[in-house]
Chain A
């Protein structure tokens, strides 16, 4: 019964989005206030029914209603409650419904917070948002109904891949989706502005917080996914250039570019057409990412053939949204009045370089991700593009990006004094260079790239701090007052750049200087890695809610000081039957000690395969990402971005 309510609610939400996407749009053209005033209430209604629908599906998962195909396929009575709930969005149908729900949520937020927007723009943005939603509702109802029933129904469900039964992964998709879908708002604003034919500083001020919000969630979501892979997959890898990861990384790159170009539109009233284009591309990437991952085309072109209905729908939808908005862009872009001029050496130019490098990087990632698909379609060869491709092509683009990142914030708008910047930053640059060379020798004169990346990280760290110190005139009278007077947006920028610097240092160190030690250990055996002494003490059998496991105990000491023992587990889940390893990790600011227990080597169960890893500065990577997100949220709280504030706030 509740399941049917969910199904009906989905249909009602679909109809509401149709109404919201058509009548107000027509009303905005004809300047009919009544038609336009439908938009906001329709957005609230759509959110209500989408929420009702999603709640009904979640209810079916919570009570394990196996008469619903989706639940039977993806849940199990023995599963802990958290994972029954997270299973709601852990499958194709549920995740698309979740997308539609967040789309409706953002729509309602725009309806509420955007009340002070010019009426026609507000209405147009809401209509575009609804039209995108309509596509998702139709996709659900026509090809991927999450509420489908079966009879006779099974007594027990299939269960969920145990690897996915993890708190990190339970919250990874919602964060990522909040990011993906957040870009829909920027997209709707861009298309709305194209229809209006007007983009100005005020428009940029409305768009930036939404981009920022989406960017924060995307950053957090990607980091959480990477962290999950790190501790759950059992060998400490944190980025694989897997299509699924790339699908979330491409919109992030474009959103980062958009974040910066919107600043230029706001402050200098220029780069408008480019910013609009980025907004369209960013959302296109998140659509492409979602569908490509969800439909499984990436692993094989033939996935379309197994479910042609979905495939054709997806292609048509992508074509309409991406093609339609790009066509509109082509027709209307020249209507956007170009604004302020700037010299080749200026803050604007720095931001343009940032944008170019980031967009090319996104294109490179896209090429590497889609190339196997193209090759398969053309020649039938099944190939994989490996991490070396991405590391090289992407890495090389990041080197100039980080170099310019150190300079950019010091450059002034319109025309910057290159010599002045160089003379101010030359000591910082020299310090980074010396640090890079020093690390190169400390590490035994190998791994030149590690030294390059560390040097870059240190350069970014120091130059960002230097620029901040310069801005607040540190150590001069009244510097504390100046510190507190900094706008939150500029504090956010400083933190965002610092976060990246910290993350880059962590990445360089853990990628090039990690060590591993694999061996068969008996009880009482000792090993040492990364300055730690590890003694294999014993193993215990334990029973969890839906798994049984071997839990090993390792005594750890460093420089003669005994630390808390580490207890990695080797689990075997019951349904589906599948072994997983739960690594035990000792994190410190200097590095992570990572212990994994494999399988027994002897029939007596006293010899085990043990893998030890030491990952220097690993935690810097997560810490850096956290600082970036923090910077984003602080910037978001800047009063200039608060909706409903009068149009022109003097900066």
Chain B
């Protein structure tokens, strides 16, 4: 074996070893990080039907029930109900509401499940794309058979 080829082999070995180390490290990181930061999307019926353990991070989506929205005395805590037509969940949220939040509109809230009391949302999400209704909510409503094509969606 010439030294040049030998050196090349050695170089390749270093390269392979370095990449393997980084890869193993990365896979490990990815897996641990992933466990904690997944949140499951559910609608109110899912929440009622499925056996979700307490303290599970979820995103709850549905329509804000007309007339259910009210503000607490501090002016910054909000109560409202979210429905998918079949089931309804009460939500408490303290913080800034996104611009698109309105009664009768689709909404996705994030928080942890608890077995008593209303759902405490830590975040109310608004999609910032050209669709006004979160896609997951449309799908869930279609599944529950309460979705109506509004003229806001498509009037032509």
Interface residues of A (CB under 8 A from B): 69, 72-74, 90-91, 150, 154, 158, 160-161, 163-164, 229, 233-235, 242, 244, 296, 299-300, 302-303, 338, 341-342, 344, 349, 352-353, 356-357, 360, 363-364, 367-368, 371, 381-390, 392-393, 396-397, 518-520, 576, 578-581, 596, 598, 601, 607, 609, 611
Contacts and interface: CB of A to CB of B under 8 A. Distances in A.
Contacts of B144: none
B74 A353 contact: no
A300 B15 contact: no
Nearest to B40: A383
B122 to A, nearest CB: 11
B22 interface: yes
B114 interface: no
B140 to A, nearest CB: 9
B136 A520 contact: no
Contact of B139 (A300, A384, A581): A300
A349 B11 CA distance: 10
Contacts of A154: 155-156
A229 B128 contact: yes
Contact of A520 (B26, B34, B75, B132): B75
Contacts of A303: 135
Given A384-B38, A578-B99, A580-B99, A393 B19 contact: no
Interface string B86-126: 00000000011111100000000000000000000000000
A342 B33 contact: no
Interface of B: 4, 7-8, 11, 14-15, 18-19, 22-23, 26, 29-30, 32-34, 36-41, 57, 59, 71, 74-76, 95-100, 128-130, 132, 135-136, 139, 152, 155-156
Contacts of A73: 156
Given A578-B100, A601-B75, A360 B22 contact: yes
A161 to B, nearest CB: 5
A164 B26 CA distance: 36
> Which of A90, A357, A609 has the most chain B CB atoms inside 10 A of its CB?
A609
Contacts of B18: 352-353, 356
Contacts of A244: 129
Given A163-B128, A303-B135, A338-B8, A576 B22 contact: no
A20 to B, nearest CB: 34
B4 A341 contact: yes
Nearest to B32: A392
Contact of B34 (A91, A342, A385): A385
B41 A382 contact: yes
Contacts of B15: 352
A580 B101 CA distance: 11
Question: Which 3 A/B pairs are nearest by Cβ-Cβ distance?
Answer: A382-B41, A389-B37, A520-B75
Contact of B156 (A72, A344, A596): A72
A389 B36 CA distance: 7
5 contacts: A235-B96, A397-B29, A520-B74, A520-B75, A581-B99
Contacts of B8: 338, 341
Contacts of A360: 22-23, 26
A356 B132 CA distance: 40
Contacts of A381: 40-41
A396 B14 CA distance: 22
A382 B96 contact: no
Contact of A161 (B40, B75, B96, B129): B129
Given A519-B76, A578-B132, 7 more contacts: A344-B14, A356-B22, A368-B30, A388-B37, A389-B37, A518-B95, A518-B96
Contacts of A357: 22
Contacts of A233: 128
A387 B29 CA distance: 14
Contact of A393 (B30, B75, B135): B30
A302 B139 contact: yes
Contacts of A576: 132, 152
Contact of A385 (B37, B130, B135): B37
B26 A389 contact: no
B40 A386 contact: no
A393 B22 CA distance: 12
Contacts of B34: 368, 371, 385, 389, 393
Contacts of A386: 37-39, 57
A519 B71 CA distance: 13
B81 to A, nearest CB: 20
A384 B96 contact: no
A164 B127 CA distance: 12
A552 to B, nearest CB: 15
B135 A299 contact: yes
A234 B99 contact: yes
A69 B29 contact: no
A601 B75 CA distance: 7
A33 to B, nearest CB: 40
> Which of A73, A381, A382, A579 has the most chain B CB atoms inside 10 A of its CB?
A382
> Which of B15, B22, B99 has the most chain A CB atoms inside 10 A of its CB?
B99
A90 B4 CA distance: 56
B75 A389 contact: no
A384 B39 contact: yes
A300 B135 contact: yes
B38 A300 contact: no
B59 A384 contact: yes
B40 A382 contact: yes
Contact of A160 (B57, B130, B139): B130
A479 B136 CA distance: 62
A489 to B, nearest CB: 26
A163 B99 CA distance: 10
B11 to A, nearest CB: 6
Contact of A392 (B14, B33, B155): B33
A401 B98 CA distance: 36
Contacts of A356: 18-19, 22
Nearest to B30: A393
A189 B75 CA distance: 60
A379 B32 CA distance: 21
A244 B99 CA distance: 20
A353 B18 CA distance: 8
A234 B15 CA distance: 47
A368 B18 CA distance: 23
> Which of A74, A356, A390, A576 has the most chain B CB atoms inside 10 A of its CB?
A356
B13 to A, nearest CB: 10
A520 B152 CA distance: 33
B38 to A, nearest CB: 5
A464 B137 CA distance: 49
Contact of B135 (A90, A164, A296, A387): A296
B37 to A, nearest CB: 4
B38 A609 contact: no
Contacts of B41: 381-384
Nearest to A299: B135
Given A341-B8, A344-B14, A385-B34, A161 B130 contact: yes
